[in-house]
């Protein structure tokens, strides 16, 4: 059982903590797989793990370049001749190492790929060149799912197998991770033993969008169990504490989950820090309805896996891990600003939005229709949703399955949407 002191930290409706070393693993489930309260979480309950996927992609790449005696300083263009970024300087010199440690200058550009209607290779060749950076190459850490999609394509080139196949053959099958795989269109309805998604308050929410062989899969599209992830963690503990992938390449900006935690760096597919005088390497994963954490203490040959079916719970999972593995006792969570209340929105009517298809070379197409007099918008492969309107007349687009709202700015023959917060509005031309 988990210590009573941790009970207030456990996100609901359910989850699991696992402590492991190189020889054994101990599981501590709590709560239930869904809000009905009838099916308990077990070590075999499946959870989407979001960005924990990056640890697998990094390993596949590092093994591929080691076997072929390729330097991590090799420019991506040498392996992917069509690789092009909006920043010409970055295009020329972006290396494998830059992509692994998020040194590209690219922001998330999430809505360029969430409902993607092209494959990975086409996206890299045709759309990536039109996605703007927010900082010069190597100027600062800029977390980028997109560059891990690029690394997935590099793995295809180096191994002769698609990323999905390489994952199965090189990691999942040898480690007998039988309950781990990639998300598909039917993951929410046909996955055995699934944990159901909930918001940060524990209320049930619809499953998020996924598809087979999604272009972003090497960054964030795996589903797994605590039992399988413990095997993965044990495999990583076979590496030396001074392994190259644990060496910090850049500093991760932003507040820490706890005020007294030290600086955070990024290595090759892992975040790296020293807590309570111990090397701690970890990666978290967050997606709509789920939170995940895998933490390793290489010097002690120990680690932990933490999964839950609630959004926004990564700080609590860190607190559980630190309490279980170190003498460090985390203080109160850093103050987080209260989530802004969504504006008072209603379906829009009598707007000047024209029907038609609007296109951006990096974000693909938006389609506007007016069934029953209410404008609806469909983004790439997403189902159409109504355009919403604030009493002040401002128009919003809320993507299906997500909580974000984006403001429309309309101009003649164009739509402008705030899809990437750190950049000017994205312009879609008719």
Instruction: Tell me how many degrees the CA angle 307-27-284 measures, rounded to the nearest 5.
Output: 25
pLDDT confidence of residue 267: 98
**Domain co-membership, 134 together with 250:** yes
- Burial pattern 418-428, b for ≥16 Cβ within 10 A else e, equals bbbeeeebbeb
* Residue 48 in domain: yes
C-alpha to C-alpha distance for 325 and 318, rounded to whole angstroms: 11
Res 360: pLDDT: 97
Distances (CA, A) of 124 to 56, 86, 160, 164, 305: 20, 12, 18, 17, 33
pLDDT above 70 (res 47): yes
Confidence (pLDDT) at 342: 57
Asked if residues 139 and 199 have their Cβ atoms less than 8 Å apart, the reply is no
Pair of tokens at residue 186: 């039917």
d(CA 30, CA 162): 37
- Average of pLDDT values for 310-319? 94
Same domain, 292 and 408: no
Whether residue 318 is found in the same domain as residue 410: no
Nearest to 246, CA basis, from 204, 197, 280: 280
Domain shared by 177 and 128, yes or no: yes
Give me 279's structure tokens. 């090397």
Please indicate, yes or no, if residue 222 is contained in any of the structural domains.
yes
Position 94 scores a pLDDT of: 97
Round the average pLDDT of the chain to a whole number and report it: 92
pLDDT band at 343 (very low <50, low <70, confident <90, very high): low
Write down the pLDDT at residue 362.
Answer: 97
The residue ranges of DSSP E strands in 217-325, in sequence order, are: 222-224, 250-251, 265-266, 271-275, 278-287, 290-297, 302-308
Q: What is the dihedral of CA 322, 326, 328, 330, to 10 degrees?
A: 10
With CA atoms as reference, report the closest residue to 418 among 400, 402, 395: 395
Backbone angle region of 213, left / alpha / beta, with phi > 0 → left and psi within -120 to 50 → alpha: left
Strongest mean pLDDT among 216-225, 312-321, 364-373, 379-388: 216-225
pLDDT computed for residue 331 by the predictor: 61
Is residue 192 pLDDT above 70, yes or no? yes
- Residue 277 shares a structural domain with residue 413: no
Of 191 and 350, the one with more pLDDT? 191
Last residue of a domain, one of 308, 336, 364: 336
Backbone angles phi, psi at 212, to 5 degrees: -65, 140
Lowest mean pLDDT among 121-135, 138-152, 244-258, 288-302: 244-258
| Angle, CA of 344, 418 and 334, to the nearest 5° | 75
Assign residue 103 the CATH number of its domain.
3.40.710.10
pLDDT at 338: 42
Contact 45, 16 (CB under 8 A): yes
Identify whether 251 is part of a domain.
Answer: yes
The residue among 424, 361, 364, 368 whose CA lies nearest residue 397 is 368
Digit-coded pLDDT (tens) for 354-388? 889 999 999 999 999 998 889 999 999 988 999 99
Segment 279-295 shows an average pLDDT of 96
Q: Which long-range contacts (CB under 8 A, 24 or more apart) does 424-427 make?
A: 426/360, 426/362, 426/363, 427/360
Distances (CA, A) of 192 to 33, 179, 189, 225: 12, 9, 9, 11
Domain of residue 46: give its range: 1-336
Task: Please report, rounded to a whole number, the percentage of residues in the chain having pLDDT higher than 90.
Answer: 77
Look at the chain and report how many structural domains it folds into. Answer: 2
Q: pLDDT band for position 330 (50/70/90)? A: low
pLDDT for 175? 98
* CA gap 103, 253 in Å, rounded: 13
Same domain, 291 and 394: no
Do residues 282 and 399 share a domain? Answer: no
Domain co-membership, 332 together with 367: no
Confirm whether 365 is domain-assigned. Answer: yes
287 & 400 share domain: no
217 and 80, same domain (yes or no): yes
In a domain, residue 329? The reply is yes
378 shares a domain with 330: no
Q: What's the pLDDT at 146?
A: 97
From residue 411, give the alpha-carbon distance in Å to each of 111, 169, 408, 425: 21, 51, 10, 12
Q: Are 417 and 330 in the same domain?
A: no
Q: Is residue 125 part of a domain?
A: yes
Q: Who has greater pLDDT, 421 or 159?
A: 159
Which strands make up the sheet holding 181-182, listed edge to edge?
47-48, 222-224, 181-182
Residue 169: inside a domain: yes
What is the domain-level CATH number for residue 366?
2.40.128
What confidence tens digit (pLDDT) does each residue in 85-127 have?
A: 999 999 999 999 999 999 999 999 999 999 999 999 999 999 9
Domain boundary residue among 336, 367, 386?
336
Examine residue 341 and state whether it is found in any structural domain, yes or no. Answer: no
pLDDT tens by residue, 131-172: 999 999 999 999 999 999 999 999 999 999 999 999 999 999
The pTM score is: 0.95
Domain boundary among 273, 305, 336: 336
Give the residue carrying structure tokens 């699991």: 16
Token pair for 353: 């939005």
């Amino acid at each position: 059982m988990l210590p009573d002191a941790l009970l207030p930290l456990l996100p609901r409706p359910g989850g699991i903590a696992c402590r492991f070393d190189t020889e054994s693993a101990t599981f501590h489930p709590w709560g239930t797989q869904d809000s009905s309260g009838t099916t308990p979480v077990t070590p075999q309950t499946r959870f989407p793990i979001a960005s924990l996927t990056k640890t697998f992609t990094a390993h596949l790449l590092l093994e591929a370049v080691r076997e072929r005696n390729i330097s991590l300083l090799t420019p991506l263009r040498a392996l992917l001749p069509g690789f092009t970024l909006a920043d010409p300087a970055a295009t020329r010199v972006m290396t494998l190492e830059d992509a692994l440690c998020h040194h590209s200058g690219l922001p998330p550009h999430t809505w360029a790929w969430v409902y993607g209607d092209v494959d990975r290779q086409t996206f890299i060749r045709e759309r990536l060149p039109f996605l703007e950076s927010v900082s010069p190459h190597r100027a600062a850490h800029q977390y980028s799912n997109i560059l891990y999609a690029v690394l997935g394509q590099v793995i295809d080139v180096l191994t002769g197998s698609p990323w999905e196949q390489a994952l199965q053959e090189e990691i999942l099958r040898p480690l007998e991770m039988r309950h781990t795989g990639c998300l598909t269109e039917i993951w929410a309805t046909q996955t055995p033993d699934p944990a159901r998604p909930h918001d940060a308050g524990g209320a049930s929410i619809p499953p998020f969008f996924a598809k087979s062989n999604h272009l972003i899969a090497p960054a964030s599209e795996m589903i797994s169990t605590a039992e399988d992830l413990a095997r993965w963690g044990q495999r990583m503990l076979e590496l030396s504490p001074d392994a190259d992938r644990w060496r910090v390449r850049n500093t991760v900006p932003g507040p820490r989950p706890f005020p007294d935690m030290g600086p955070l760096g990024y290595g090759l597919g892992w975040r790296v820090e020293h807590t309570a005088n111990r090397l701690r390497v970890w990666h978290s994963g967050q997606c709509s309805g789920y939170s995940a954490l895998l933490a390793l203490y290489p010097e002690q040959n120990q680690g932990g896996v933490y999964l839950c079916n609630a959004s926004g719970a990564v700080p609590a999972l860190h607190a559980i891990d630190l309490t279980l593995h170190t003498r460090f006792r985390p203080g109160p969570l850093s103050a987080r600003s209260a989530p802004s209340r969504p504006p008072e929105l209603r379906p829009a009517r009598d707007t000047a939005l024209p029907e038609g298809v609007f296109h951006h070379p990096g974000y693909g197409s938006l389609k506007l229709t007016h069934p029953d007099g209410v404008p609806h918008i469909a983004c790439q492969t997403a189902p159409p949703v109504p355009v919403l309107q604030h009493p002040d007349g401002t128009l919003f687009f809320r993507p299906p399955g997500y909580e974000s709202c984006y403001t429309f700015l309309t101009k003649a023959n164009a739509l402008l949407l705030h899809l990437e917060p750190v950049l000017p509005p994205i312009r879609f031309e008719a």
